[in-house]
Amino acid sequence: MSHSTLRDHDIEASSLSDQLQRLSIGQTEILRKWRSLPAEVQYKILAHLPLNELYKVRLVSKRFRNVVKRRSFHQARALLHLTEFSLSPLVFYAEKDSSRWYLRGFDYKEKTWRKLPPFTEPIPAPDPDLFKDFHVAGDKGLFCVNVGKASESEKLYVCNLLTGATFKLPALEYSRHPVIVCVHVTLAKRKGIVISSFLVIAIGSAAIGTEGLSRKTEVYDSVKGQWEAAEDVPGADFSLNDYQTGVYCERLKLLLCVGFMVNGRKGILAFDVEKRKWREDWICPFHQLDPVTEIALTVYFAIAQLVECSGRIYLFSEQEAGRNVSHCIDRLDLESGSEGFTWTRVVKRERQGNRALLVYPEYTCVPVGENKLCIFNTIERTGVIYDMLKDSSANTDDFESIPLPPSEDGIMFHSLNPVGYAFEPSFGVSVPKNSEDPEEPEDPEEPEDLEEPEESEVVENKVQGNL
């Protein structure tokens, strides 16, 4: 499509949103010109809009809402922006008197908090009486959420918040409440189209009395559309007993998790995703420093979280020596083709007060930029950013901090797992269709009048206005 074609139709992507907003007060000439455009031209024009303007356009009429829902538009948008931006840390809120919940994430590049469209039915809202609910994993445009309770079987959904598509995964072969849920998305441009696929990895069991299920590992492949039973976790029952998402090491195709190794010590376990096997001979204990003088050093392994940043793997932990409590970040360097590894202490900072609460992740460590990690206080919603390539022993006044997110009417809650990943929304990640999903909307042959947005859509636009 040439620029002259756009000028012939008096429509430019940069001013389209403003023009469309005036349609509701009688300027139908633009609408007639818009209808004259081929569908593929409409997709390309709308695909150039800023994301927040795109969601405003959806409120103009049913025709525009339908265009934005189509996979052809999702392709056009993803070809321009494979991912929209990177958000980390993430904060979850449940709307009052509503079945919806949503998140805010910090856009480090733009130094602002953004709100994404909400999680909606069939994904339920969290229990308002609980401060901690749901297992939430995310990767490149896709969330995987387990909304089942510990005493119940799993209820796993995958969803793309930008497209609104949600799919309920089939039941696990060994029904249970897994302690590890990881989603890994493959997203790429090939020959002028965007292709995507994803894996969901479910490991272990959280419920008491499910020893026989605590070592089970299953992988859902979106290409095959089914779960595959993988090799059991090596070692004792409940070797993996902490809610987590694990960290996917792209270079080695390994999912790394925090748990008890085959020798009974706490450390890192490795699952070979391609071979569907665990590295049984893998022995990778946590980084241990010699005690300071005669003071015993204690590592609180319940606060031990893996995080990936710029292709490197780090372990965030809390350590106590005497009355001093420190936050530590250690880099894990893995050797290709062997079981070798090296730990390097990158950050050690004393924190105020006693050691953190263990009932939920009071502190998490998240990637916020190239080679930058943030230790984030999930209660106060404050964070300090550390550059992994610089000396962390400098004065704390020199470190960046994350501003507080805007105040919300919703109720803040925590996921069962520490959220130690950055989330990159994308229109390009496809979600399988449920059998009961309606067909993709088609363009009506006859012109339609403009419609006033329904009240529910106005509310939705308020949620999405900060994209």
pLDDT tens profile 219-255: 999 999 999 999 999 999 999 989 999 999 999 999 9
Residue 153 lies in a domain: yes
377 and 233 belong to one structural domain? yes
pLDDT at 338: 59
pLDDT at 117: 92
226 and 342 belong to one structural domain? yes
Region of poorest pLDDT, from 61-65, 96-100, 118-122, 293-297: 293-297
Closest by alpha carbon to 11, among 51, 79, 20, 25? 20
Region of poorest pLDDT, from 17-31, 67-81, 153-167, 372-386: 17-31
255 beta partners: 248, 271
Q: What is the residue whose two structure tokens read 């949503």?
A: 102
Residue 71, domain extent: 3-80
Whether pTM > 0.75 for this model: the answer is: yes
335 and 199 belong to one structural domain? yes
For residue 288, name the pLDDT band (cuts at 50, 70, 90). Answer: low
Residue 192, number of CB atoms within 10 A of its CB: 7
Residue 74 lies in a domain: yes
Residue 309 lies in a domain: yes
pLDDT at 300: 57
The larger pLDDT score, comparing residue 130 to residue 140, is at 140
391 and 294 belong to one structural domain? yes
193 and 156 belong to one structural domain? yes
Q: Who contacts 369 (Cβ-Cβ below 8 Å, separation ≥6)?
A: 108, 109, 385
CA distance 45 to 47: 5
- Specify the number of domains making up the chain: 2
Residue 449 lies in a domain: no
For residue 98, name the pLDDT band (cuts at 50, 70, 90). Answer: confident
Helical spans, DSSP H, in 170-265: none
34 and 117 belong to one structural domain? no
Q: What are phi and psi of 405, to 5 degrees?
A: -70, 160
- Percent of the chain at pLDDT above 70? 79
CA distance 127 to 28: 46
Residue 443 lies in a domain: no
pLDDT at 101 over 90: yes
Q: pLDDT averaged over the chain?
A: 83
Q: Which helix (H) or strand (E) holds 41?
A: helix 39-47
Q: Is 353 exposed, middle or buried (0-12, 13-18, 19+ CB in 10 A)?
A: exposed
30 beta partners: none
Residue 320 lies in a domain: yes
pLDDT digits (tens, 9 = 90+) for 15-25: 666 665 654 54
Residue 313 lies in a domain: yes
Q: Is 81 exposed, middle or buried (0-12, 13-18, 19+ CB in 10 A)?
A: middle
pLDDT digits (tens, 9 = 90+) for 23-77: 454 557 777 787 888 888 888 888 999 998 888 887 777 777 788 889 999 999 9
User: Which of 392, 413, 434 is the C-terminal boundary of a domain?
Assistant: 413
